[in-house]
Structure formats: structure tokens, C-alpha cells
Amino acid sequence: MGDFWVFGYGSLIWRPGFAHTETRPARLHGFRRSLCVLSHVHRGTPQRPGLVLGLDRGGSCLGLAFLVPGELREEVVAYLRERELVTNVYVERTLGVRLAGGERVEALTYVVDRGHPQYGGAMDVDHAVARVRGAVGLSGPNEDYVINTVEHLKALGIRDHWLEAVAAALN
């Protein structure tokens, strides 16, 4: 099989963790970035869940597309499945994204499963801050995850006003 694309919208932007030969800004239509997943492993525990991002339906999402050499497909997909499907709150899908410049490509993407018990749904800033503050998982404090994501999005020229409000309230 040939080279393939992976779409990142949250921590994959600042910590992809896999080999790739190209990184391009990309937009995914039909889904939006949302702090809607109750994290039981990476940024929280089952007793004290944190919040992490998911692609929830509706709107569109600006992120990054990573081009992965075909010979690394098995290795990279295995890595992503271990990272993203640890509790199966995400569904692995191949979706069309539009790269900067207009080219449309298919990209491996992880979309939140709204029927999963860890789906937190929409919440206001205060509720999100209360959930994030103090939560810690295997990958560290939940606050670091939110703040790092916002800083990296801003560096790429991507604004997410709701997520920025959550990060500002955590500082």
C-alpha cells in the first residue's frame, strides 16, 4: 500500500509520536474539535476523569495532516490504535480532508463515539475547567494538555475561542 495521511487536531499536533515525511495544515468538514471526552487513562483516572479532545459531529476542524510512508503503515497504525483506542471512546475512520492549497486527501482520523460512556458532551467553560483542574493521568496533568494544545493551535494561527477560554481560566 502507498503513503497515507493522518489527521491531527489535538495532542497529535504537538506530539505526533510517529514518523512522517510531510506536515500540512488541513480542514476536516463535518466534525469539530471538542473537549468532550472523559479521560480515564492519559489525563485522568476512572475515579477522577479529566477531559481531552475529540472530533464531535458538526462544523469543521482545522488541524494538521501528516503524510506517512506506506512502508510504515503497519507500525504507525498500531501505534495510533494503542494511543487512541485505549478505552475505545474513539472510532477509527478514514475521512476526506482538504489540505492547505485545496488538495483533497483521505486521512486516518479518530472520531468520538457519542454512545460511549466516556463521551462527556457539550459543557460550559466553568464545567470544563472544574473537570480539567486537578485531573492527572499517565500522560500528566490535564491542565498541561489543555494549555499545550491552545499554545500550539495559536502558533499555527488556529483559533479555538472556547478552548482558549478554558485554558485562560486554568491559569
Spatial separation of the C-alpha atoms in residues 160 and 155, rounded to whole Å: 12
Domain presence at residue 125 = yes
| Euclidean distance between CA atoms 101 and 18, whole angstroms | 24
Cα–Cα distance list, 38 to 28, 34, 86, 88 (Å): 23, 11, 13, 12
The pTM of the full predicted model, rounded to 2 decimals, is 0.93
- Asked whether residue 40 is domain-assigned, the answer is yes
Q: Which domain holds residue 20?
A: 4-164
Residue 141 lies in a domain: yes
- Give the pLDDT of residue 84: 93
Task: Determine, yes or no, domain membership for 170.
Answer: no
Q: Is residue 148 part of a domain?
A: yes
Residue 169 included in any domain: no
The pLDDT score that the predictor gives to residue 171 is 85
The rounded distance, in Å, linking the Cα atoms of 131 and 136 is 11
- Contact in structure between 140 and 43 (CB atoms under 8 Å): yes
CATH number at residue 133: 3.10.490.10
Residue 61 domain-assigned (yes or no)? yes
8 A C-beta contact, residue 5 and residue 66: yes
Q: Which residues of 95-133 are buried (b: 16+ CB within 10 A; e: fewer)?
A: bebbbeeeeebebbbbbbeeeeebbbeebebeebbebbe
Pair 35, 104: CB distance under 8 Å: no
Q: How far is CA 97 from CA 7, 117, 164, in A?
A: 8, 28, 24
> Residue 141 phi/psi, 5° resolution?
-65, 140
First-residue to last-residue Cα distance in the chain: 46
The total number of structural domains that make up the chain: 1
Which helix or strand (DSSP H or E) is residue 83 part of?
helix 73-84
Question: Would you give per-residue pLDDT tens digits along the chain (171 residues)?
Answer: 799 999 999 999 989 999 999 999 999 999 999 999 999 999 999 999 999 999 999 999 999 999 999 999 999 999 999 999 999 999 999 999 999 999 999 999 999 999 999 999 999 999 999 999 999 999 999 999 999 999 999 999 999 999 999 999 998
**Residue 138 in domain:** yes
Q: Which amino acid is at 72?
A: L
pLDDT of residue 165: 98
